[in-house]
């Protein structure tokens, strides 16, 4: 009886909640979901109704190449940024308060700097007559400049730099949440530092690593400014290509088809990865 | 077997441990007892090697452990909160110390099963720690700490997170386990009942110092300091002027009354505290007579506890706490009733008035 009473009360609460949520839900639907849906719908209707745009995916090898480039750059960015992020987070965990603040400052400063500024800063550093090539040549380590911009290496350097804070912070928070007594327990049971790290600490931080990887993947795959500036037209990622279709060649159907595919890839990846991390989290 | 020698640990100006010495016998059950912040956890961490002492030594079989890393000390530790490996199953948790020692697969298999059987958890071998109750996790931690035949089993507040009934059940189990396997157990706790019930010896720590190291009965009946008297069980303390010993008794004066108590230890000071445990005092109706020490008083509080009634008396020599068994219905006095408190001349223990 009490349960029934609570259920009806719950029902009433739910109805009240729905009424309260309605305006904001409508706003989001109107301003966000509807436009996205319209753009996605374009891929089936422009210029003709049907799957013509999607056929291009198979027929036009350039599109496949662009997707492949995008995926390759994204995967490398995810792997490198997560690895570096893990190291930085590990250092933060063991740093004194002053060093901790310093590292955090170094992580946050780039986040506050506009992405365009950062991209051009990297061009200045990496170009053939830039500082890095200059130093390397002055030291006699290089005979001539190494090409580090207007190619995939430049894009990767710029993107990894942007992504490191996004990778570091979830991993750090996972590490911070661990009970240090568990590591003490491992040592008391005879584990050397190496075993304590690989058998106990590292597995326990995997949920944080998973979160970092999803975050970096989702942000990286749609990168726009950094590949344009550092790729200099030679490295085209999917976001840039979509933008060209919308604003320059005005092939909205093609552009929105690519956007739809991109969205599908992201959702599939996140769903697949979620499953993995849920397995992991189920363990922790 | 394990000696704590003049052990000190300071953090800048704070002395967490201050010259603590005692030694632990092989196969004994020793408890380190103290209130929170007394330094008992620091002592445990120093024994296990996670805290480096500022001075003093920890010796095992006569050899200093100071240069020995925690992973080489071969001590089984049950941490507060258990510190199980959340990503490993129960069986894998228990196997961990054996794997670290490079034992063979078949040996690990039999030992893990043996240890889990000992704590009655064999059927949960494939569960993850988060799927277990607090009491079960505690037993996994225990199995993990025992499975590699450590020199010493250290238990840090192992029962404090559990509810009262479970705590009592696990206390019995701990005692059974200790007598069955005959390992050396060191328990750290703030719970005096736990300490009295489980231990062969108890080290009472307060403000970083060792107050007393003795058997539970000696601590309860003949505490060395006022702190120990107050920390272990209830007692009434009567401020007395100490007279000369006559025979095997000492004469004590308080508030116009003269009491006798056994002359068991020399008291150098003229002032002292006569300690009476609640069960040592009997109540006699006003106007009645009884042998031994007598003082009149009035009942100011009574609380019913099932097996006993605890009565508080206001007397001219201070407050007295009396524990009366309820089994005999001769009935406790009512609130406000005037009674005579009496105790044997053999009972009572004299403490120095200052210090502690």
pLDDT digits (tens, 9 = 90+) for B242-271: 887 777 878 787 888 888 888 777 666 778
Q: How far apart are CA B11 and CA A262, in angstroms?
A: 57
pLDDT of residue A3: 46
Same domain assignment for residues B264 and B149: no
Percent of chain B at pLDDT > 90 equals: 36
Number of Cβ pairs closer than 8 Å across A and B? Answer: 69
Same domain assignment for residues B19 and B142: yes
Give the residue from B198, B226, B254 where a domain finishes: B226
Same domain assignment for residues B275 and B183: no
pLDDT of residue B292: 80
pLDDT in tens, B185-197: 999 999 888 899 8
Same domain assignment for residues B140 and B245: no
Residue of B89, B96, B128 to mutate when probing chain A, most A C-beta within 10 A: B96
Number of independent structural domains in chain B: 2
Same domain assignment for residues B203 and B300: no
pLDDT in tens, B159-193: 887 888 888 888 888 888 898 888 999 999 998 88
Contact B73 A192 (CB under 8 A): no
For residue A157, the tally of other CB atoms under 10 A from its CB is 20
Q: Report the Cα–Cα distance between both ends of chain A, in Å, rounded.
A: 38
Contact B81 A192 (CB under 8 A): no
> Per CB distance under 8 Å, which residues of A are interface residues toward B?
179, 181-182, 184-192, 195, 199-200, 203-204, 206, 282-284
Report whether B290 contacts B249 (CB < 8 A): no
Q: Which of B24-33, B98-107, B343-352 has the lowest mean pLDDT?
A: B343-352
Given pLDDT bands bounded at 50, 70 and 90, which one contains residue B356? very low
pLDDT of residue A277: 61
* Bond prior to B356 in cis (omega within 30° of 0): no
ipTM of the complex: 0.81
Same domain assignment for residues B59 and B208: yes
Residue of A184, A189, A282 to mutate when probing chain B, most B C-beta within 10 A: A189
Contact B81 A191 (CB under 8 A): no
| Helices marked H in chain A | 2-28, 34-45, 52-59, 61-94, 97-112, 115-126, 131-138, 152-176, 180-188, 193-195, 202-221, 225-231, 238-247, 252-283
Q: Answer yes or no: is pLDDT of B153 > 80.
A: yes
Q: How far apart are CA B46 and CA B43, in angstroms?
A: 5
Same domain assignment for residues B194 and B251: no
Where residue B146 sits, what CATH number does that domain have?
3.40.50.300
Listed by number, the residues of chain B in 69-128 with a beta carbon closer than 8 Å to a beta carbon of chain A are 69-77, 79-81, 83-87, 96-97, 100-101, 128
Average pLDDT, chain B: 87
Give the residue from B226, B259, B274 where a domain finishes: B226
Contacts of B156 (CB under 8 A, 6+ apart): B41, B44, B77, B78, B79, B80, B188
Residues of A in contact with B85 (CB under 8 A): 182, 185-186, 200, 204
B42-67 in b/e form (b: 16+ CB < 10 A) is bbbbbbbbbbebeebebebeeeebee
Residue of B51, B65, B68, B71 to mutate when probing chain A, most A C-beta within 10 A: B71
Given CB atoms, is B131 within the 8 Å cutoff of chain A? no
Q: Answer yes or no: is pLDDT of B36 > 90.
A: no
pLDDT of residue B318: 84
For residues B44 and B270, which has the higher predicted lDDT (pLDDT)? B44
Same domain assignment for residues B257 and B206: no
Same domain assignment for residues B220 and B102: yes
pLDDT of residue B267: 67
Same domain assignment for residues B147 and B184: yes
Same domain assignment for residues B137 and B214: yes
Where residue B266 sits, what CATH number does that domain have?
2.40.50.140
Query: What 3-state DSSP class applies to B109?
Result: helix
pLDDT of residue A280: 57
Residues of A in contact with B49 (CB under 8 A): 188
Same domain assignment for residues B263 and B198: no
| Burial (0-12, 13-18, 19+ Cβ within 10 Å), A141 | exposed
Question: What are the tokens at B164?
Answer: 């009262």
Q: Answer yes or no: is pLDDT of B19 > 50.
A: yes
Question: Partners of B315 in the beta sheet?
Answer: B297, B318
For chain A, 284 residues long, give each residue's pLDDT as a single digit of tens: 444 445 555 567 788 888 899 999 999 989 988 988 888 888 888 888 888 888 888 888 888 889 999 999 999 999 999 999 999 999 999 999 999 999 999 999 888 888 889 889 999 888 888 888 888 888 888 888 888 888 889 999 999 999 999 999 999 999 999 999 999 999 999 999 999 999 999 999 998 999 999 999 999 998 988 898 888 878 888 888 898 888 888 888 888 999 999 999 999 988 888 787 655 554 43
Domain that holds residue B126: 2-226
**How far off is chain A from B280, nearest CA to CA, in Å?**
45
pLDDT of residue A113: 87
**How far off is chain B from A98, nearest CA to CA, in Å?**
19
Give the residue from B185, B206, B226 where a domain finishes: B226
């Amino acid at each position: 009886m009490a349960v029934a009473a609570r259920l009806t009360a719950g029902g009433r609460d739910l109805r009240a909640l729905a009424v309260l949520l309605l305006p904001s839900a409508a706003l989001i639907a109107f301003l966000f979901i509807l436009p996205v849906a319209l753009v996605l719908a374009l891929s089936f209707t422009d210029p003709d109704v049907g799957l013509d745009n999607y056929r291009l995916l198979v027929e036009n090898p350039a599109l496949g190449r662009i997707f492949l480039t995008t995926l390759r750059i994204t995967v490398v960015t995810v792997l490198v940024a997560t690895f570096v992020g893990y190291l930085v987070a590990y250092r933060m965990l063991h740093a004194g308060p002053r060093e901790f603040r310093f590292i955090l400052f170094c992580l946050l400063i780039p986040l506050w700097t506009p992405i365009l500024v950062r991209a051009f800063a990297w061009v200045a550093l990496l170009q053939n007559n830039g500082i890095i090539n200059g130093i390397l040549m002055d030291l006699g380590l290089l005979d001539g400049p190494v090409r580090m911009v207007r190619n995939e290496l430049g894009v990767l350097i710029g993107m990894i730099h942007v992504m490191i804070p996004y990778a570091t912070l979830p991993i750090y928070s996972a590490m911070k949440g661990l009970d240090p007594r568990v590591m003490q327990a491992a040592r008391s049971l005879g584990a050397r530092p190496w075993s304590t790290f690989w058998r106990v600490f590292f597995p326990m931080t995997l949920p944080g690593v998973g979160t970092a990887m999803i975050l970096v993947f989702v942000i990286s795959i749609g990168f726009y400014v950094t590949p344009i500036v550092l790729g200099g037209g030679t490295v085209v990622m999917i976001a840039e290509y979509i933008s060209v279709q919308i604003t320059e060649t005005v092939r909205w159907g093609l552009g929105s088809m690519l956007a739809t595919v991109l969205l599908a890839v992201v959702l599939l990846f996140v769903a697949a990865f979620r499953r993995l991390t849920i397995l992991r989290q189920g363990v922790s | 077997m394990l000696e704590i020698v003049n052990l000190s640990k300071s953090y800048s100006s704070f002395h967490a441990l201050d010259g603590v010495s005692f030694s632990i016998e092989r196969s004994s059950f020793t408890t380190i007892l103290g209130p929170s912040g007394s330094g008992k956890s620091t002592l445990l961490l120093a024994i296990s090697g996670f805290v480096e002492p500022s001075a003093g030594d920890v010796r095992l079989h006569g050899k200093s452990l100071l240069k020995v890393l925690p992973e080489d000390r071969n001590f089984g530790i049950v941490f507060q909160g258990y510190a199980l490996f959340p990503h490993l199953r129960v069986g894998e948790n228990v196997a961990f110390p054996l794997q670290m020692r490079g034992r063979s697969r078949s040996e690990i298999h039999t030992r893990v099963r043996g240890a889990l059987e000992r704590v009655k958890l064999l059927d949960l071998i494939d569960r993850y720690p988060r799927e277990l109750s607090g009491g079960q996790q505690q037993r996994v931690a225990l199995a993990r700490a025992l499975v590699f035949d450590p020199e010493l089993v250290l238990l840090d507040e192992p029962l404090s997170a559990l509810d009262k009934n479970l705590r009592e059940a696990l206390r019995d189990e701990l005692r059974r386990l200790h007598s069955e396997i005959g390992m050396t157990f060191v328990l750290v706790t703030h719970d005096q009942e736990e300490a009295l019930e489980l231990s062969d010896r108890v080290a009472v720590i307060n403000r970083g110092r060792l107050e007393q190291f003795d058997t539970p009965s000696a601590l309860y009946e003949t505490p060395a300091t006022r702190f120990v008297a107050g920390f272990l069980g209830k007692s009434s303390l009567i401020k007395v002027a100490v007279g000369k010993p006559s025979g095997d008794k000492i004469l004590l004066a308080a508030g116009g009354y003269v009491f006798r108590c056994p002359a068991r230890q020399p008291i150098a000071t003229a002032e002292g505290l006569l300690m009476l445990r609640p069960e040592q005092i009997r109540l006699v109706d006003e106007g009645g007579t009884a042998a031994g020490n007598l003082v009149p008083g009035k009942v100011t509080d009574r609380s019913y506890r099932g097996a006993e009634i605890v009565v508080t008396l206001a007397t001219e020599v201070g407050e007295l706490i009396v524990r009366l068994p309820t089994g005999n219905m001769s009935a406790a006095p009512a609130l406000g009733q005037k009674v005579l408190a009496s105790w044997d001349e053999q009972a009572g223990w004299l403490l120095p008035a200052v210090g502690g």
